[in-house]
Amino acid sequence: MNILVTGANGFIGKNLVTTLKSNQQYNILEIDKGATPSELDQAVLQADFIFHLAGVNRAFNESEFFEGNKELTQRITTVLIAHEKSTPILFTSSIQVSDVNAYGKSKLSAEAALQRYAEQNLAKVYIYRLPNVFGKWARPYYNSVVATFCYQIARDEPIWIKDSNLVLNLVYIDDVVHHFLEILHDSYHKSGLLTVTPIYSLTLGELANTLTAFKDSRQTQEVIQTDNLLIKKLYSTYLSYLPENELGYPLLMHKDTRGAFTEFIKTSNRGQFSINYCKPGITKGNHWHHTKVEKFLVVSGRGCVRLRSLFSHEILEYEVNGDDLKVIDIPVGYTHHIENTGETDLIVIIWCNECYDEQHPDTYPLEV
């Protein structure tokens, strides 16, 4: 199946093309700014389906909008009409078609050309009037405030907000591509004006605060709430704009002669994860908790976890090693420790149901 994608090197085009290329049943015909009119005509005639994503949304003069939106679309439909083809076309329009600016008018004219083609050639035309689209590979300082803010905040550059209460309506690039592929795979899908869902709404101020919190999380170790889909998608987008030489960041290691303890991840409602290094022959712990519970997972080395109820003399022992992963639950009211019984460092991942609070540590020394 030959699939033509105009605007293949643009933001939406890149995401769509990379997804389509993962399916080897498609032959992707990519057309972008550098293509000649004859190359476009040839690709249009070869195509079994057309994703018409190319267009102009920034211009020095109004005529460029009509050349890049209306006239380009008319060229595609004219070729198809002349050859009596009824190739399905999916077109990315804009919510600005109802505005009285040149960009909106040019997109509305392009829609009209497609509708005439659909009626004359009995072809299916799918028109998406997209709001603000965000996600990876959008160009900063172009037409995506999310991309611009992500880029600036990741580089400690100042951001400018005229109205922090301005509400943005956003759709995520992966959701856009998902909808497009549904159209491609379902030949019975109703044509006409279509909408991408879900649409998310937030203010410019909320966007700036959210992205700033993502940046600060490297110091706080706080991670996002993945059950909030907008936050999850914004975080994935933000990370895609990190400078390539700053993907790594250090953690504070609390070191002594026994080994080291490092807090890795903290959450507001799921506790925290830490990494504990223990030298050979060293025992760590010998304390208990009222409410705090932990899970120990040895990922390297060999050791022994020992626990004892406060009301018993019986000691429970669990042999652990990095070659046979086993989680040990540490209940409340049990004093406990872990001993490195091997000849190499013992490395333990620890989950705790609450983040460490220096004022209320809930930790009471007691030998096992």
Give the residue numbers marked as catalytic.
103
What is the number of alpha carbons within 13 Å of residue 184 lying toward its C-beta? 24
Residue 287 structure tokens? 């304390």
Question: Which residues touch 313 (CB under 8 Å, ≥6 apart)?
Answer: none
Q: Quick check: bond before 198 cis, omega within 30?
A: yes
Taking Cα atoms as reference points, which of 204, 200, 128 lies closest to residue 162?
204
- Compute the residue count for the chain: 368
- Count each helix (H run) and each strand (E run) in the chain, helices first: 9, 20
Whether residue 182 contacts residue 216, with contact meaning beta carbons closer than 8 Å, is answered with no
| Three-state secondary-structure class, residue 145 | helix
Whether residue 193 contacts residue 132, with contact meaning beta carbons closer than 8 Å, is answered with no
- Sign, CA dihedral 138-143-149-152, equals positive
* Torsion of Cα atoms, 231 then 237 then 238 then 243, to 10°: 160
**Which amino acid, residue 123?**
A
Whether residue 207 contacts residue 236, with contact meaning beta carbons closer than 8 Å, is answered with no
Q: Phi/psi zone of residue 271: left (φ > 0), alpha (ψ -120 to 50 degrees), beta?
A: left
Three-state secondary structure readout of 85-134: CCCCEEEEEEHHHHCCCHHHHHHHHHHHHHHHHHHHHCCCEEEEEECEEE
